[in-house]
Amino acid sequence: MEPERRAWVPPAWVAWGAVVAAFAFAAVSLLWATGSTLGLDTLGGSVERLGRGRDPTLLAANAVALVLKLLGGVLALALVQPWGRRLPQRPLLALGWLGSAVLVVYGVLQVTTLALVAAHVLVPDEPLSDRALRWRLLLWEPWFLVWGLLLAGATLRCRRLRRGV
Is 91 in contact with 155 (CB distance < 8 Å)?
no
> Between 45-52 and 56-80, two packed helices, what is the crossing angle to 10 degrees?
110
Mean pLDDT of 109-119: 97
Question: What is the predicted pLDDT for the residue at 1?
Answer: 58
Question: At CA 17, angle to CA 134 and CA 91, rounded to 5?
Answer: 115
Its pTM stands at: 0.91
Q: For the segment 21-56, what is each residue's pLDDT rounded down to a tens digit?
A: 999 999 999 999 999 999 999 999 999 999 999 999
The pLDDT value given to residue 165: 54
Convert 138-151 to b/e letters by CB count within 10 Å (16 or more is b): eebbbbbbebbbbb
